[in-house]
Structure 1
Amino acid sequence: MSQQYPQNQPPQGWGPQQPQWGGPPPAPPKKSNAGKVIGFGCLGAVGLLVAIGIVGAVALGGDDGGEASSKPSVTASKPAAAPEKGAEEEPKEEAPAKAKEPSGPEGDVKVTGCEVEPTMQWPSASLDVTNRSSKPSNYIISVEFVDADGTRVGEGTAALNNLAPGQVSKEKAQGLTQVSGKVECRVTKVTRYAS
């Protein structure tokens, strides 16, 4: 015997299903990560371009051949030994005590102040930078901070761009290490290259 279905009604489970009340909600559309991928890709490209630009500028150098100096700007001289008693002294001509000004980029930088900021206790060096080259130049200046014993307690950096020939700029090299007591500021390296 066959089952009889009412006219125009298919058996249950056949045909289109009608929505049911209280059933599971439809799944939300899947989010795309395209925005993140594009954002990180652009950020990486910009970072790579900046790194290539800095390396290229330093490698190509300027009118001074991209000179960099690592000579400290503070030097100490050894006192002359006292003559022995009974030895005949020769007359000496004394030249005026004149400090020899460094040549190259290190001669462009002078330390004009050295202090420890009272609230944060971070050291800083005030610098006068004079472009003595014939072209507009960029500078990267490294400074170390030493205590009374000569121990290095921190370092700082100053950078400036497009300083015209003969122009003077007042800069600050800020250390980010807390120190106590007085410090001495020494320029350890100066890199100058044409803008």
Structure 2
Amino acid sequence: MGGSMSYPQQPGQQPQWGQQPGWGQQPPQPKKKNVGMIVGFSCLGIVALLVVLGVIGAVLGGTDSGSDTGESLEVTAPPSKAADKKDDAPKEKEATGPEGDVKITSCEVNDATQWPAAKLEITNRSSKDSNYIVQVEFLDKDGTRLGEGTAATNNLAPDQLAKETAQGLAQVTGKVTCKVTKVTRYAS
């Protein structure tokens, strides 16, 4: 015989796996699935992904790759007003090349996130529209590196000024010093 045989069941007994319920019996109810919980966690995951992508996008700000020909330039921020008033104070040697195009205007740690940030002014002193990638490191009072940040700007016209921020993502406490470690400039 080629069919399956069904054995009678005792009253009140649930059918076993692979068995069919007897005549007049209802099949067992399917287990409830936590659809609400699944949808909630999926939405939470999507929101978290968007936040992470937003932070990465803000940090990178549309960088382009190019040649790495920059040199280091150290600037501490903010500059003291007392040094500005002294006429006999030694003046810093002005940097040449792409390094001379970047100036740190502020260096601080955000009170809410504890992330360091360096505000930069980038002035294209070349004769062509240029793209810039500026790398900054954040140092404590002893010169220990606490983190790094990158700022970029594209299609900056000759003599045009751009204000950018190199944002660090490592949490730090106390005052920091910002140092430009590399400036890459290339024609756009």
Normalising by the smaller structure, the TM-score range is 0.5 to 0.7
Shift of 1:69: 1.8
Shift of 1:96: 6.7
In the superposition, the TM-score normalised over structure 2's length comes to: 0.57
For 1:119, the equivalent position in structure 2 comes to 112
State how far apart, in whole Å, the 1-side matches of 2:74 and 2:150 are.
15
Does the 8 Å CA contact 1:138/1:192 hold for their aligned counterparts?
yes
In the superposition, the TM-score normalised over structure 1's length comes to: 0.55
Q: Deviations over 1:17-43 (max 9, x none)?
A: xxxxxxxxxxxxxxxxxxxxxxxxxxx
Report the identity percentage. 63
For 1:139, the equivalent position in structure 2 comes to 132
Moved over 2 A (4+): 72-75, 95-98
For 1:88, the equivalent position in structure 2 comes to none
Does the 8 Å CA contact 2:75/2:104 hold for their aligned counterparts?
no
Does the 8 Å CA contact 2:74/2:178 hold for their aligned counterparts?
no
Greater Cα radius of gyration, structure 1 or 2: 1
Shift of 1:149: 1.0
- 1:37-186 alignment, distance < 5 Å: 58-59=66-67, 68-74=69-75, 97-186=90-179
Does the 8 Å CA contact 2:102/2:120 hold for their aligned counterparts?
yes
State how far apart, in whole Å, the 1-side matches of 2:180 and 2:72 are.
8
Q: What do you get for the CA RMSD once the two structures are aligned?
A: 2.2
The answer for unaligned runs of 5 or more in structure 2 is 1-63, 77-87
The 3-state SS of whatever aligns with 1:107 is: helix
The answer for unaligned runs of 5 or more in structure 1 is 1-53, 60-66, 76-94
1:180 is aligned with what amino acid? T
